Structure 1
Amino acid sequence: MKITRVETFAVPPRWLLCRIETDEGLVGWGEPVVEGRADTVRAAVHELAEQFLVGADPLRIEDHWQLMTKGSFYRGGPVLSSAVAGLDQALWDIAGKAFGAPVHQLLGGPVRDRARAYCWVGGDEPAQIHEEVTAQVEAGFTAVKMNASGRTDRLPSVADLDQVAARAQAAREALGPTGDFAVDFHGRLSVAGAIRAVAALEPYAPMFVEEPVLPEHTHLIGRVTESTTLPIATGERLYSRAEVLPALRSGVAVLQPDLSHAGGISESRRIAVLAETFDVAVAPHCPLGPLALAASLQLAFCTPNFLIQEQSIGIHYHSGAELLDYVTDPEVFRFHEGHLLRPTGPGLGVEIDERAVRRADGAAASWHNPVWRHPDGSFAEW
């Protein structure tokens, strides 16, 4: 079997999908994207495909991964690792279809029958948080995640800290003692600011506190973990085993590799195994589309230290399209009491609606994240 063609599709709201075709009729799909840099990643996908994949045996997945990540003198970074990630997902999809098994079966078989999932809730005010969390509880979810704050100074004021605490209190009141919520700081705080803000959250016992400091300050995150009893999480902007190692050594409790950024299924699997040796849980980051979620679930079902799965169905900032618009059978992503059931179909376990994808290709302008500024005109983390 040989790879004959690699295609990419930029589809709303902000996703890039890739399709690998073989001379035996098997097709694999993946999701290589950096949100806000889809066009750049698209170019990288085609460069890698032309250099390493077209004409090659798709089942030599590890060899392809090694060549794509190491075959150029300059390596790494989000663009290259995300391009590799989507191609790697598609290769695993082909392998599963070739052997008639889901990817998690090829990786050792399932260790669970269902995977707990959480959904995002928006809202700038505590009353809105309470309302949105309550709606998700009524829909059957047992866990949610929300931004810890809006734009804030790196050293938060007393008023900023009060807002962080008020939002957490609203979520806890809506969930009661049995539900879970996580808060995401998006790296908006300095180390000292993060220590103060995490302390303000302690009375409300969030499941984890995500990215309290920027990924480039991972070597300092140990000061935050040592200051609190709350679980600290990071990892969505770390792209390899080498990059997550300082976080693991610093005492984080939850690692969040993104399977569309961190080298795909192959590298994320290795990251999860490395995390297990540090007694760290894995909660794959995934505010993306159907293939990123499908790949994440394949990892979830063969990973003993899996904690919970992020997913973007119904997320508040999608515009123009929804995850389920691109699959032929949405049943694989149907929630059961806040959980997703183990997929049994071959490969990634999801069938892509190719007609819908081809129609949507190029239908939306390139998405870019907002750029924030502080009142004095200086740059603020979004």
Structure 2
Amino acid sequence: MKITRIETFLVPPRWLFCRIETDDGLVGWGEPVVEGRAEVVRAAVEVFAEYLIGQDPLRIQDHWQVLTKAGFYRDGPVLSSAVAGIDQALWDIAGKAYDAPVHALLGGPVRDLIRVYAWVGGDEPDELADGIAAQVEAGFTAVKLNACGRMSPIASSAEVDAVVARAAAARECLGPDRDFALDCHGRFTPATARRVLPELAPFRPLFVEEPVLPEHQHALASLVEASPVPLATGERIYGRAGFLPVLQAGTAVVQPDLSHAGGISEVTRIASLADTFGALFAPHCPLGPIALAASLQVGFATPNLLIQEQSLGIHYNKDADLLSYVVDPEPFRFVDGHAVRGQQPGLGVTVDEAAVRAADRDAAHKWRNPVWRHPDGTLAEW
């Protein structure tokens, strides 16, 4: 069996899909994307395709080694994301070739259900309450919300109070038997994180995500020491080497993204590395159906999985949603806040190819993240 064609499709709201076809008619799908830089990743996939065309798609690990290590300049979000989508598609082909779900090829399932959480938007406590109530009504037992918007380099008393008020509102709505997580998006400086984290303890969030930027990993050990709340990070870390200092710092939850951190092949290794530190695994995935399908396949075969992010109804998505490009929504039908293990071969999702090709022909949907500034005009973290 040989790879004969590799295509990419830029689709709303901000996703890039990859289709790999073989000479015997098998097709695999992946999701290689850096949100806001999808066109750059598309170019990287085209470069990697020069090597892959004519190769045996089942030599997944060898291809991963070549794509990540044969070049003199390595790593970074663009190259790692291009590899990630290709890797997902190759695993999809392998599952179809062996007539087995990917989790079976990874050693078999360790669980039948995966707890998932839903996103809640809104800036005011009343909006949060309505959003959380809707997700609870939909059966979810956990939600995640933004901790804050733009933050001063050292948070003011009012800014700290606003973060704490959001946590308090979430806990009041959820009661003691459900969970919430707070996502900081790296908007706290280390000084602000040390100020805020202890004040969140009474509300017992499941975790606080990305309290500081990835380039401030050197501060994580002191933050872990200062924080009574579990800390999570990893969506902007692209391989095992980047996660090692995070784990050595005592981070409780790692969050590699299956579309950024080298795909299924590398993320399974990151999860195993985390397990040696007693850390839990909660893949980042506010993306599309292929990325989520890949994440779930890994999760079903990973003992130290905590919970899975998913984007159904997420406030970020406009013009398209998680189910817009799939033929059958059943793999994403959550039961009591859990994804149910399926037996479909490969990634277990059937892509609506006609919808994908039609969406790619519309070039008006190119997405860019906003640019935020502080009142003095300096750049602020988005």
Q: Residue in 1 aligned with 2:140?
A: 141
Structure 1: how far apart are the matches of 2:91 and 2:205? 35
Residue 358 of structure 1 and its aligned partner are, at CA, apart by: 0.6
Structure 2: how far apart are the matches of 1:317 and 1:251? 31
Structure 1: how far apart are the matches of 2:177 and 2:222? 29
How well do the aligned residues superpose, as a CA RMSD in angstroms?
0.7
Q: Residue in 2 aligned with 1:330?
A: 329
Q: Residue in 1 aligned with 2:121?
A: 122
Q: Tell me which amino acid in the other structure corresponds to 2:237.
A: L
Q: Residue in 2 aligned with 1:39?
A: 39
Structure 2: how far apart are the matches of 1:290 and 1:266? 18
Structure 2: how far apart are the matches of 1:150 and 1:134? 22
Q: Residue in 2 aligned with 1:295?
A: 294
Q: Tell me which amino acid in the other structure corresponds to 2:184.
A: F
Other structure's SS at 2:42 match: helix
Structure 1: how far apart are the matches of 2:361 and 2:77? 22
Q: Residue in 2 aligned with 1:22?
A: 22
Residue 154 of structure 1 and its aligned partner are, at CA, apart by: 2.2
Residue 155 of structure 1 and its aligned partner are, at CA, apart by: 1.1
Task: Render the CA deviation track for 1:253-308: whole Å, top value 9, x for unaligned.
Answer: 00000000000000000000000000000000000001000000001000000000
Other structure's SS at 2:258 match: coil
Q: Residue in 2 aligned with 1:63?
A: 62
Q: Residue in 2 aligned with 1:285?
A: 284
Q: How does 1:70-89 map to 2 (within 5 A)?
A: 70-89=69-88
Other structure's SS at 2:232 match: strand
Residue 341 of structure 1 and its aligned partner are, at CA, apart by: 0.3
Residue 356 of structure 1 and its aligned partner are, at CA, apart by: 0.7
- Please tell me whether the aligned partners of residues 41 and 82 of structure 2 are also in contact (alpha carbons under 8 angstroms): yes
Task: Render the CA deviation track for 1:60-98: whole Å, top value 9, x for unaligned.
Answer: 000000000011100000000000000000000000000
Q: Residue in 2 aligned with 1:368?
A: 368
- Please tell me whether the aligned partners of residues 313 and 322 of structure 1 are also in contact (alpha carbons under 8 angstroms): yes
Q: Residue in 2 aligned with 1:229?
A: 228
Q: Tell me which amino acid in the other structure corresponds to 2:368.
A: H
Structure 1: how far apart are the matches of 2:93 and 2:28? 5
Residue 167 of structure 1 and its aligned partner are, at CA, apart by: 0.5
Structure 1: how far apart are the matches of 2:124 and 2:293? 33
Structure 2: how far apart are the matches of 1:154 and 1:210? 18
Q: How does 1:306-317 map to 2 (within 5 A)?
A: 306-317=305-316
Q: Residue in 1 aligned with 2:109?
A: 110
Residue 139 of structure 1 and its aligned partner are, at CA, apart by: 1.1
- Please tell me whether the aligned partners of residues 255 and 280 of structure 1 are also in contact (alpha carbons under 8 angstroms): yes
Q: Tell me which amino acid in the other structure corresponds to 1:347.
A: G
- Please tell me whether the aligned partners of residues 164 and 200 of structure 1 are also in contact (alpha carbons under 8 angstroms): no
Residue 220 of structure 1 and its aligned partner are, at CA, apart by: 1.4
Q: Residue in 2 aligned with 1:153?
A: 152
Q: Tell me which amino acid in the other structure corresponds to 1:234.
A: T
Structure 1: how far apart are the matches of 2:240 and 2:349? 28
- Please tell me whether the aligned partners of residues 11 and 365 of structure 2 are also in contact (alpha carbons under 8 angstroms): no
Task: Render the CA deviation track for 1:130-185: whole Å, top value 9, x for unaligned.
Answer: 11111111111000000101111121110001000101000000100000000011
Q: Residue in 2 aligned with 1:212?
A: 211
Structure 2: how far apart are the matches of 1:61 and 1:331? 28
- Please tell me whether the aligned partners of residues 112 and 300 of structure 2 are also in contact (alpha carbons under 8 angstroms): yes
Q: Residue in 2 aligned with 1:11?
A: 11
- Please tell me whether the aligned partners of residues 41 and 80 of structure 1 are also in contact (alpha carbons under 8 angstroms): yes
- Please tell me whether the aligned partners of residues 289 and 323 of structure 1 are also in contact (alpha carbons under 8 angstroms): yes
Residue 214 of structure 1 and its aligned partner are, at CA, apart by: 0.2
Residue 49 of structure 1 and its aligned partner are, at CA, apart by: 1.0
Structure 1: how far apart are the matches of 2:130 and 2:231? 26
How high is the sequence identity, in percent, across the aligned residues? 67
Q: Residue in 2 aligned with 1:249?
A: 248
Structure 1: how far apart are the matches of 2:137 and 2:94? 39
Structure 2: where are the runs of 5+ without partners?
A: none
Residue 362 of structure 1 and its aligned partner are, at CA, apart by: 3.8
Q: Is structure 2 residue 185 aligned with structure 1 residue 197?
A: no
Q: Tell me which amino acid in the other structure corresponds to 1:247.
A: V
Q: How does 1:253-264 map to 2 (within 5 A)?
A: 253-264=252-263
Structure 1: how far apart are the matches of 2:101 and 2:163? 42
Structure 1: where are the runs of 5+ without partners?
A: none
Q: Tell me which amino acid in the other structure corresponds to 2:23.
A: D
Q: Tell me which amino acid in the other structure corresponds to 1:91.
A: L
Structure 1: how far apart are the matches of 2:32 and 2:374? 32
Structure 1: how far apart are the matches of 2:111 and 2:189? 38
Structure 2: how far apart are the matches of 1:205 and 1:71? 46
- Please tell me whether the aligned partners of residues 17 and 31 of structure 1 are also in contact (alpha carbons under 8 angstroms): yes
- Please tell me whether the aligned partners of residues 80 and 261 of structure 2 are also in contact (alpha carbons under 8 angstroms): yes
Other structure's SS at 1:325 match: coil
Q: Give the number of aligned pairs.
A: 381
Task: Using structure 2 for the length normalisation, give the TM-score.
Answer: 0.99
Q: Tell me which amino acid in the other structure corresponds to 1:47.
A: V
- Please tell me whether the aligned partners of residues 238 and 244 of structure 1 are also in contact (alpha carbons under 8 angstroms): yes
Other structure's SS at 1:117 match: strand
